[in-house]
């Protein structure tokens, strides 16, 4: 079995006349945390969406655990993701939001949903609707949602957004513990300390090109 979790081969993505990814190739090993850095507009989020299957590349391919996205499967298999602001039912609690998702295809038990909410530092008994959550609380809930199916691969785009220092520390500890469980994590972050403390490899993007990695 290959030890490569994600293989990106010569991906180019255009939106009309705008080329946002330019011949990007990378291979990411299983069981490690891989950082993607770059300024806003460098192509990080578009690359993550191509890996997940939310966007189809104009040229090139993305494989996840040996499956070619768009050919062998529509979306990345065995993958949890937090990309941009997660969408939740605004008038429901965080617990109820995840319970509704868990009911789709018997994805997780109530006990697992509760433990995930606690794992990310939220209170499963909180009656506050998600519309009243802070950005940091929504990010925590988004991470719990990404973990719902106990995926082997996590793709997290700026998961520390809106978190205070204690929140950042607890999520870093969570990601390291998930790595110890053998999970592969792709992490985009503006925080240099996240990259320094967490990542086994770092890819830097600039204007749609991979310049290191």
CA distance 22 to 73: 24
List the alpha helices (DSSP H) in 30-109: 44-52, 94-103
Determine the pLDDT at residue 213. Answer: 58
pLDDT score recorded for residue 116:
97
- Give me the phi and psi of 157, to 5 degrees please: -100, 105
Which token pair is 154? 């996590």
**Range 161-174 average pLDDT:** 92
Q: Would you kindly state where each structural domain of the chain is located, as residue ranges?
A: 1-78+151-213, 86-150
Asked if the model's pLDDT at residue 212 lies above 80, the reply is no
**Alpha-carbon gap, residue 76 to 42, rounded angstroms:** 22
Query: 3-state class of 198 per DSSP?
Result: helix
Neighbouring-strand partners of residue 47: none
19 CB neighbour count, 10 Å cutoff: 16
Confidence (pLDDT) at 47: 97
Put simply, whether the predicted model's pTM sits higher than 0.85 gets the answer yes
pLDDT tens-digit series, residues 72-120? 999 999 999 999 877 899 999 999 999 999 988 677 899 999 999 999 9
Write the DSSP assignment of 132-178 as a string of letters. G--HHHHHHHHHHHHTTT--SEEEEESTTTT--HHHHHHHHHHHHHH
Q: Give the strand order in the sheet containing 59-64.
A: 18-29, 4-15, 59-64, 67-68
CA 104, 105, 110, 116 torsion-angle sign: negative
- Can you state the percent helix, strand and coil of the chain, rounding each to 5? 30, 30, 40
Do 199 and 33 contact (CB within 8 A), yes or no?
A: yes
Compute φ and ψ for 84, nearest 5 degrees.
Answer: 60, -165
The architecture that CATH gives domain 1-78+151-213 is: 3-Layer(aba) Sandwich (3.40)
Residue that the structure tokens 């290959």 belong to: 2
pLDDT at 193: 86
pLDDT, tens digit (0-9, with 9 covering 90-100), for 8-46: 999 999 999 999 999 999 999 999 999 999 988 899 999
pLDDT tens, position by position, 133-159 = 999 999 999 999 999 999 999 999 999
């Amino acid at each position: 079995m290959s030890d490569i979790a994600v293989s990106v081969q010569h991906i180019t993505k255009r939106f009309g006349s705008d080329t946002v990814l330019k011949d990007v190739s990378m291979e990411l090993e299983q069981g490690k945390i891989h950082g993607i850095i770059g300024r806003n507009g460098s192509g990080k989020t578009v690359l993550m969406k191509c890996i997940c299957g939310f966007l189809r590349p104009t040229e090139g391919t993305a494989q996840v655990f040996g499956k070619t996205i768009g050919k062998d499967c529509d979306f990345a298999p065995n993958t949890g993701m937090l990309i941009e602001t997660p969408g939740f039912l605004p008038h429901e609690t965080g617990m109820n939001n995840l319970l509704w998702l868990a009911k789709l295809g018997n994805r997780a038990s109530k006990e697992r949903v509760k433990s995930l909410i606690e794992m990310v530092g939220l209170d499963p008994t909180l009656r506050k609707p998600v519309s009243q959550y802070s950005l940091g609380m929504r990010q925590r809930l988004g991470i719990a949602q990404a973990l719902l199916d106990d995926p082997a691969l996590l793709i997290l785009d700026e998961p520390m957004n809106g978190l205070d220092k204690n929140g950042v520390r607890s999520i870093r500890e969570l990601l390291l513990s998930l790595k110890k469980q053998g999970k592969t994590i792709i992490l985009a972050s503006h925080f240099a300390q996240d990259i320094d403390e967490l990542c086994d490899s770092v890819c830097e993007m600039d204007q749609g090109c991979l310049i290191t990695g």
